[in-house]
Structure 1
Amino acid sequence: MQRENAGESGPTRREYLAYAGVVGSGLLAGCTASGDGDSTETETTETAVTTSQPETETKTAEPESGYSVSMSPVGDVEFESPPEDAMVIFSHYADMAVALGKADTVNSLYAPSFAGPALDAFYSRLDGVSLEWDGLPDPLSNGVDKEMLYELDSDVHFIDPSYVVKNQDKWNTDDVAEIAENVGPWFGNYHSGLHDKPVSAYADDYQYYSLWELFEKVAAVYQEQERYEALRAVYDDMVRDIESSLPPESERPTAARVTLINGTFYAYKLNAPGFWHADTRPLGATDAFADVEWEGTWGMFDYETMLETDPDVILHLWGMSPGYYIDDIREEVANDPVGSQLSAIQNDRFFAGGVRFQGPLTNLFQLELTAKQLYPEQFGEWPGYSPGEPYPEIPEAEQLFDRQRVADIVNGDL
């Protein structure tokens, strides 16, 4: 994977992007919304008079520019201008760029033919909002490759270096520093997804963020704080309305979030910390697997265990993505002699979930769809999802957020 003489044959250091602190020391507890690092602009005037040319010449010094944004574990990252090319692996960072009106900066995406259609399903309900994902290179097709990073020549890498060192072969902190020095800085926080442990090199003072805190930091990188604030207001209003309408805990259904792969159900916690649960935790359903402990990302269960647990509602992650379309998965479960006995199958409450790596726009839609799937009496019936089609049309009176308002914000009408 490592490129020979990469430091010599690769591009020279990007002058307008400076990297500061891979391991991150002196991290700020939270980045200010302005993201300008308290930078100031100064102007000086100098008058020069000569005997041969009595005119007065005024020279204005170039104003200081640049700003810094702090993110654990990379520390303070300095920028002289917003990125024009952004290397992305997981779709939540692509969704953040789209939300900030910067879709055209995204130059890569993990499994684009898988993640792209799911994002399209949501964006199709937002006028003028899209991501050109077709043709984007997949940075995980052969593992994160240093050669690819040099070729992409990105202004920023929206990747947690801890993820790369922990999950990719032949990467260490020296490789991370090389890419930061020769190409562009790293800016990502992967382990906030589940609050799992980073590698030891980044473990000191590693900080976990919510989805919207991460989005605020990315907005500061792009210098699009106004868009962030406007979208955050939509989100806050939506969550406030949802929480005020939830039924008492004793009346809430039991639910499980799973992905069925080759006859095994991979289960995820509903109410655990981490932004992977940003669309289920605010809804407070009773997690069917709340008392089941497992190590790692997910628990693995067979049909018999699922039937023993028998949740009222089953939310199938990736149910809007090719290969996992809900109609196919539901049919597979219903055709199994044990699966057919599940209450969620018999009561038609086996639903399509969205994407795991959700950004702010997908989070709004996924909160809405999950609220309807769990609490139809409070939020209206979920109309179902047709494979390959856009997110279903919801009557305006039953929408949990204003699509046009969100589209306007993304398109710059604040």
Structure 2
Amino acid sequence: MNGERLSRRQSLSAITTAGIGAVAGCVGGTEESDETDDADGSHGGDEHSDEPVAETESAVDTPYEVCMDPMGCQEFDAVPETWVTNDGTYADIGVALDVTDGLEGLGEPHRYYTGYYDELPGVSLEKEDLPELAPDRSADRELFYELDVDLHVIDPKRMEHTFGLDEDDVEELEENVAPFFASYMRHRNDEWQQDYEYYDLFEGFERMAAVFRRQERFEQFRAFYDEFLADIQSRIPEEGPEVLIVRALGDEPEEFFPRYIDDEANFVKRWRDLNVRDNLEGSGIPEWGTRLDYETLADLDPEIIVAEGQHDDDITLDEERFENVLVSYMQSHPLADSITAVREGRVYPGGINYEGPITLLFQTEIAAKQVYPEEFTEDDLFDREELAAIITGDA
């Protein structure tokens, strides 16, 4: 920020909630006085609030704080202008808030698909121009110093447990460069996630809106999404067809990783929202460390199979290639006729399972048309221009 740049550990300082007192600002977009106490929503005392706290978009001068596990509460004297993040979830949130002019790097750019933005006028992100922070899941600590951003939108625990840094490394980067402020939201299956709160996608989205002072943008987006989802759910049965979610091992797969439609993981939210039944439920098949062969698929005999991907070049993001290569290969298998989904042509591409709010919209639309093709015959289930106007601030 040049002369107005946030000073390290002064303007963007991690603070515990004990002894802070009230921070001038607003709660949920409503201004509060400097003298508010705990009963009025301040963050003094021993426990922080579950709700994010921040200023409105128009006021940017006074300090504000935002609370999120595992960091606790973070105080900001100014809105971060430059930032980095890890994968597609928070990068997509940044696009939805229209703050990616300040995005300086991505940890795993191959886990971020930007193709859906092509359908939104005025919305884009050229991720090829951004440096990769963690090649082969090994964080380049010196690159963090070189980029010298105002905020690391990365879960610090994920840095320690996935990207080869230890707690001292993370503390050093916080002290000398900038704080870490994010919470891993894709799923909650790792041991290191169990000792702090797990947020759903929109809870994390709201906290990022509070950090970047784009709460009004968030509220508009959330209202748009809620209306979209309400319309879909008004048109589907309470109990839908049985779906098996997998990740295919290769374009011509002999084996598949199973994916349960659990009660909280964000990367299967759209399947919960569509009221499908999980083909794996009650099967006794472990979700992690297990591979399904065609014999197991035949025993499970799902009505629908959805193959999801994790990378931006996966076949699951190319409908024509998916049909001509992966589906054709499955149909040629000797056991194809024993698997209802394969026999009846109901094997579908599931896109990428690193979802932010924009990706979720598009992939929920795709999934609804796959699961309920006779109900959802429209080309589009939401207005692209209206969504783009919300994102760009023209709504």
Which whole-Å CA distance do the structure 2 matches of 1:21 and 1:140 have between them?
Answer: 29
CA displacement at 1:366 relative to structure 2: 1.0
Which whole-Å CA distance do the structure 1 matches of 2:133 and 2:267 have between them?
Answer: 21
> Any conservation in 1 of the 2:14–2:71 contact (CA below 8 Å)?
no
Number of residue pairs matched? 351
Which whole-Å CA distance do the structure 2 matches of 1:320 and 1:124 have between them?
Answer: 18
CA displacement at 1:308 relative to structure 2: 1.2
CA displacement at 1:274 relative to structure 2: 1.8
Task: Assess, with a 3 A threshold, how the Cα gap between structure 1 residues 332 and 340 changes in structure 2: closer, same or farther.
Answer: farther
Mapped pair 1:195 → 2:183: no
Task: Assess, with a 3 A threshold, how the Cα gap between structure 1 residues 123 and 15 changes in structure 2: closer, same or farther.
Answer: same
Task: Tell me which residue corresponds to 1:227.
Answer: 217
Mapped pair 1:74 → 2:90: no
Task: Tell me which residue corresponds to 1:46.
Answer: none
Task: Tell me which residue corresponds to 2:49.
Answer: 28
Which whole-Å CA distance do the structure 2 matches of 1:296 and 1:352 have between them?
Answer: 20
Which whole-Å CA distance do the structure 1 matches of 2:8 and 2:274 have between them?
Answer: 47
- Unaligned 5+ segments in structure 2 are 1-6, 18-45
Secondary structure (helix, strand or coil) at the match of 1:96 reads helix
> Any conservation in 2 of the 1:179–1:185 contact (CA below 8 Å)?
yes
> Any conservation in 2 of the 1:160–1:188 contact (CA below 8 Å)?
yes
Taking only aligned residues, the RMSD between alpha carbons, in angstroms, comes to 2.7
Mapped pair 1:209 → 2:199: yes
Structure of larger gyration radius: 1
Moved more, 151-160 or 138-147: 138-147
Q: Deviations over 1:6-27 (max 9, x none)?
A: xxxxxx83654222359xx733
Task: Tell me which residue corresponds to 1:87.
Answer: 84
Task: Tell me which residue corresponds to 1:310.
Answer: 301
Which whole-Å CA distance do the structure 2 matches of 1:233 and 1:196 have between them?
Answer: 30
Task: Tell me which residue corresponds to 1:13.
Answer: 8
- Unaligned 5+ segments in structure 1 are 1-11, 42-62, 381-393
Secondary structure (helix, strand or coil) at the match of 1:378 reads coil
Q: Deviations over 1:112-169 (max 9, x none)?
A: 3x445x322x111111111111132222314123222112212111111111222233
TM-score for both structures, normalised by structure 2: 0.81
Question: Any residues of structure 2 matched to 1:13-412 within 5 Å, and which?
Answer: 13=8, 15-21=10-16, 26-32=47-53, 35-36=54-55, 65-112=62-109, 114-115=110-111, 118-120=113-115, 122-142=116-136, 143-169=138-164, 171-190=165-184, 192-197=185-190, 199=192, 204=195, 206-249=196-239, 252-262=240-250, 263-293=254-284, 297=288, 299-318=290-309, 321-324=312-315, 325=318, 326-327=322-323, 328-339=325-336, 341-380=338-377, 395=379, 399-412=380-393
Aligned residue type for 1:89: N
Secondary structure (helix, strand or coil) at the match of 2:381 reads coil
Task: Tell me which residue corresponds to 2:32.
Answer: none
Task: Assess, with a 3 A threshold, how the Cα gap between structure 1 residues 294 and 105 changes in structure 2: closer, same or farther.
Answer: farther
CA displacement at 1:111 relative to structure 2: 4.4
> Any conservation in 2 of the 1:254–1:312 contact (CA below 8 Å)?
yes
Aligned residue type for 2:302: P
Task: Tell me which residue corresponds to 2:25.
Answer: none
> Any conservation in 1 of the 2:246–2:306 contact (CA below 8 Å)?
yes
CA displacement at 1:287 relative to structure 2: 0.7
Identity of aligned residues (%): 33
TM-score for both structures, normalised by structure 1: 0.77
Secondary structure (helix, strand or coil) at the match of 1:301 reads coil
Q: Deviations over 1:189-228 (max 9, x none)?
A: 11x43233553xx755x11111011000011111000110
